Amino acid sequence: MKLTVNGIEQEIFSPPLTPLLHVLRDELDVTSPKAGCQQGGCGTCTVLIDGEPRRSCLTAVAAVDGSEITTLEGLGEPEQLSPVQAAFHERYAAQCGFCTPGMVVAATALIERKGGPVERDEVLEALGGHYCRCTGYVKIVDAVMAASRGQTGAREDEPETGEEAPVMIPGSPA
Amino acid sequence: MPAEALVPTSAEEAARLYGDGEGVVVFAGGTILLPEISAGRLKPERALMLHKSGLDGISTDGGTIRIGAMTPVSALVGGPSELISRFAENVGDGEVRRSATVGGNLCATAGVGAQRGDLGAPLIALGARVRSTGKGGERTEPVEDFLAGDRSGRLVLEVELDAPSGKWGAETLRRRHAHSYAIANVAVASNGGGLRIGVSGVGPTAVRARAAEQSRNPDDVLRDVEPVDDAVASAEYRRKMLPVLLRRALDQLETA
Ligand SMILES: Cc1cc2nc3c(=O)[nH]c(=O)nc-3n(C[C@H](O)[C@H](O)[C@H](O)COP(=O)(O)OP(=O)(O)OC[C@H]3O[C@@H](n4cnc5c(N)ncnc54)[C@H](O)[C@@H]3O)c2cc1C
Ligand code: FES
Ligand code: FES
């Protein structure tokens, strides 16, 4: 089997039903996708498979043989963060950071798909399956909206939505 | 021992490799199976992986819509039937729906503390049929018969339905969170004079509510289904809410 991971073609030797998550982490040493729940419920393992965000813990590696995989590592470099990474960093959208890889990857896909400023309900829809146990989500939603508006610096300019600060992802414990 | 993976590249090859299903685990999207395998609860020896079988895709020929078993649930959101879409959009979140398949939804059993197979309700209401193969060869039967029968030993190939032309109603009860499973789903559709009612999320498989169809009395839905207790809701709550949901769905039909 072959995968192109963050632009580099890799031959894969794990058994066919190995979750992509473990192929990335254990075989290829790409460790940003985290093994959170390993049952599809938390979103920290989300990666882009041929450009679409999917859960790597729910994906058997053989089912994506030949695909292009993008993880958090493939989005930017420490010295050159992607817009979403920079906005998360500048706007304190990460605390412990465990959920951040999946959040950033899913948010990047959302902004790419939209091709312009994303609104709060769109962020909630796209990230609604991602758990964060630290931030309370407010700063995450704020950072994604800001990144989609090219505001990747520190927060001085509010995203121009004319609304109150977001409260929470629907259904999450307040 | 890791599982042997069989990867057919056509529907015919899939059917041949499946045979009568003995000793073969069908692996579709894997959103149910892979967590079981990761946790060590399931150790398949032979897995029939369908991702290259060509069993995916939605087509319309004449008045018939065909939905391949491997069609991702995400493709039904905004797809050919608004009624199916209303239930498809509640399965997991977008990332789960890109992996979850229609065939897997029809073959899903109850999870730990939650019911699955939400799509059964709209498919029953729309009079959809399942084409499957396995022991005794290919057959096509109404969704409700397929679900009521012994699904083991069947490889689902596709679902077909007449392009919906009548009115419909849909009610879903669930907590407002991407990963919360259904408490109850009710789908109703009328075509000509006939009324069809499908219920899912209250027990291990979706059920056609024939008594309620005949009487049009929402309370009669409790003669058709036996709601279960699980981690999502109590059987008692489901019994209280089902007639309410059905009444609302029937009201939608009236006013559609
Ligand atoms: C976070 C999360 C949330 C979820 N929420 C919901 C929800 O709200 N509603 C809901 O209904 N489900 C939900 N699910 C369960 C699941 O994603 C869906 O039911 C999905 O449609 C299953 O399809 P699959 O292709 O992933 O199945 P798989 O895991 O591949 O297979 C499931 C079962 O079906 C069998 N099977 C699959 N395809 C065939 C076929 N063509 N022929 C014969 N047998 C077959 C398999 O052998 C297995 O026993 C959720 C799952 C997760 C992880
Ligand atoms: S580890 Fe994949 S969703 Fe939690
Ligand atoms: S920052 Fe800790 S889980 Fe989100």
Name the residue ranges covered by the structural domains of chain A: 2-74, 83-148
Does the A83-148 domain belong in CATH 1.10.150.120? yes
Ranges A49-58, A156-165, B204-213: which has the least confidence: A156-165
Q: Is the CB of A55 under 6 A from ligand 2?
A: yes
The answer to whether residue A171 scores a pLDDT higher than 90 is: no
The pLDDT-based confidence of B2 (bands split at 50, 70, 90) is: confident
- Into how many domains does chain B fold? 1
Cα gap A53→A56, rounded to integer Å = 9
Give every CB contact of residue A164 below 8 A, 6+ residues apart in sequence: none
Q: Ligand nearest A97 Cα, by number?
A: 3
Rg of chain A over Cα atoms, rounded to whole angstroms, equals 16
Q: How many Cβ contacts (< 8 angstroms) between chains A and B? A: 91
Residues composing chain A: 174
The pLDDT-based confidence of A168 (bands split at 50, 70, 90) is: low
Residue in B closest to A122 by C-alpha = B94
pTM beyond 0.90, yes or no: yes
Residue in A closest to B37 by C-alpha = A17
The predicted structure's pLDDT at residue A6: 98
Tokens of A131: 């758990």
Cα gap B51→B106, rounded to integer Å = 17
Instruction: Tell me the per-residue pLDDT of B163-172, one tens digit each, with 9 for 90 and over.
Output: 988 899 999 9
Instruction: Tell me the per-residue pLDDT of B178-202, one tens digit each, with 9 for 90 and over.
Output: 778 999 999 999 987 799 999 999 9
Indicate the fold that domain A2-74 takes in CATH.
Ubiquitin-like (UB roll) (3.10.20)
The Å distance, Cα A174 to ligand 3 centre, comes to 15
Pick from A68, A54, A67, A66: which is nearest to A21 by CA?
A54
What average pLDDT does the segment B9-17 reach? 97
Above pLDDT 90, what percent of chain B? 90
The predicted structure's pLDDT at residue A174: 44
The vertex-B59 CA angle with B58 and B63, nearest 5°, equals: 130
The pLDDT-based confidence of A162 (bands split at 50, 70, 90) is: low
What CATH number is attached to the domain comprising B227? Answer: 3.30.465.10
Instruction: Tell me the per-residue pLDDT of B59-68, one tens digit each, with 9 for 90 and over.
Output: 998 899 999 9
Cβ distance of B94 and A19 shorter than 8 Å:
no
The predicted structure's pLDDT at residue B176: 76
Cα gap A104→A82, rounded to integer Å = 10
Residue B11's domain spans which residues? 4-255
